[in-house]
Amino acid sequence: MTALSAPAPAARPRLTGWLLRLHRPALYVWTALVLLTAALLLLLHGPMADAAAESWRRYDACGFDTTCAYGQSAILRYKDWYNYATLAAALVPFLTAAWAGGALLGKELESGTARLSWTQSSTPVRWLAVRLAAPAVLVTAGTGLLAWLHYLAWTAGRGRIDSAKDWYDIGTFHTSGPVLVALSLAGLAAGALAGLLWRRTLPALASGLLLTAVIWGVHLELLPHLWPTLGRSGHGYVASPSGSWTVSHGGNAARYHVTYHPYAHYWPLQLTATAVLLTVTALLTVGCFVVLRRLTGKAATR
């Protein structure tokens, strides 16, 4: 056994392993959040949706009989827990942003441990790349699973449970497809940028959250216009078809028109919104590296 304990001179510094070690509590919390929400979504998809659907079937069978027992509690249970699951999934982009801004980068830059890492044998650029890539993989895996299960839980109720959410419900739309993944990645990049800009934990945490909220808000404004709407017009009041998302309506008694997205636009809207959000994420990521380069000069890359 010689004094040199390292295996081979060409071995690469193992940054990812140590990143996971340093943020082990966050990793545990993330795993727990994903597993619990996933379990809840599986329950919603299976037994809870079935029970609520059965209650709705009995309710419809009851007709006008007010004394008829149809099991309202199953309906309410499905509705409540569905909302909790949606909320948990919808909060992920914000949780990611707060963590990335505060714990992942703000704290390291504030306490100087970033400099400690930069004076080991790998470059600041690689340091940042690992700090963005590893969480991005975990966030993608976790939110991907949640979005898929949420979509299943929602479709399990669609058409069977009268109180199930519409496809264009803000919570449901944003947690039942790749949009959730893209929003979470945008939150990660926004938090990281805030951390690099502030180099302090609390301001970075707060502005990471704020930036993510702004992205979310602008995205909500743009969402209906990301795919061409259908339109109807005519004399008197014209309604959009049942189950479609009314984007605009107006006019006068002579001519009334309405624009809407039918359910068929669900995936086109999901995919274009995802593409837009991923572009924003890419820009924020480039911003992160630009700021890092400004911090460390030309030294960043070599």
Partner 1 sequence: MTDTAIAASALGKRFGRRGGWALRDCTFRLPAGRVCAVVGPNGAGKSTLLALAAGLLGATEGELTVLGTTPAGARARIGYVAQDKPLYPQLTVAETLRMGADLNPGHWDAAAAERITAAGDLDPKSRVRALSGGQRTRVALALALGKRPELLLLDEPMADLDPLARHELMGVLMVQAAQHGTTIAMSSHVVAELEDSCDHLLLIGGGRVRLAGEIDDLLTAHARVAVPADTDLAPHTVVESRTTGRQLSALVRPAGPLPDDWHAATPSLEELVLAHLRNPEAPVLTPAEEAVA
For tokens 């929003």, the residue is: 183
Is 36 strand, coil or helix? helix
Is 130 strand, coil or helix? helix
Stretch that binds partner 1, among 6-14, 60-68, 149-157, 282-290 (CB under 8 A): 6-14
Q: Which amino acid is at 70?
A: Y
Output the smallest distance, CB 23 to partner 1, in A.
9
For tokens 């199953």, the residue is: 74
Stretch that binds partner 1, among 40-48, 73-81, 120-128, 164-172 (CB under 8 A): 120-128
Output the smallest distance, CB 103 to partner 1, in A.
11
Nearest to 261 by CA among 234, 239, 240: 240
Report the residue from 117, 172, 229, 281 that binds partner 1 according to the rule CB under 8 A. Answer: 117
Enclosing H/E stretch for 259: strand 256-261
* 31 touches partner 1 (CB under 8 A): no
* 3 touches partner 1 (CB under 8 A): yes
Q: What is the DSSP letter of 102?
A: I
Looking at the Cβ atoms of 123 and 140, the one nearer to partner 1 is: 123
- The CB density around residue 63, as the number of other CB atoms within 10 Å, is 8
Report the residue from 82, 118, 173, 266 that binds partner 1 according to the rule CB under 8 A. Answer: 118
Stretch that binds partner 1, among 42-50, 85-93, 112-120, 154-162 (CB under 8 A): 112-120
3 state SS for 150-178: HHHHHHHHCCCCCCCCCCCCHHHHHHCCH
Output the smallest distance, CB 11 to partner 1, in A.
4
Stretch that binds partner 1, among 7-15, 62-70, 142-150, 216-224 (CB under 8 A): 7-15
* 236-239: long-range contacts, CB 8 A cutoff, minimum separation 24: none
- In whole angstroms, give the CA distance from residue 151 to residue 174: 10
* 28 touches partner 1 (CB under 8 A): no
Is the Cβ–Cβ distance between 190 and 97 less than 8 Å? Answer: yes
Report the residue from 119, 236, 242, 264 that binds partner 1 according to the rule CB under 8 A. Answer: 119
* 290 touches partner 1 (CB under 8 A): no
* 6 touches partner 1 (CB under 8 A): yes
Residues that bind partner 1 (CB under 8 A): 3-15, 17-18, 21-22, 24, 111-113, 115-123, 295-302
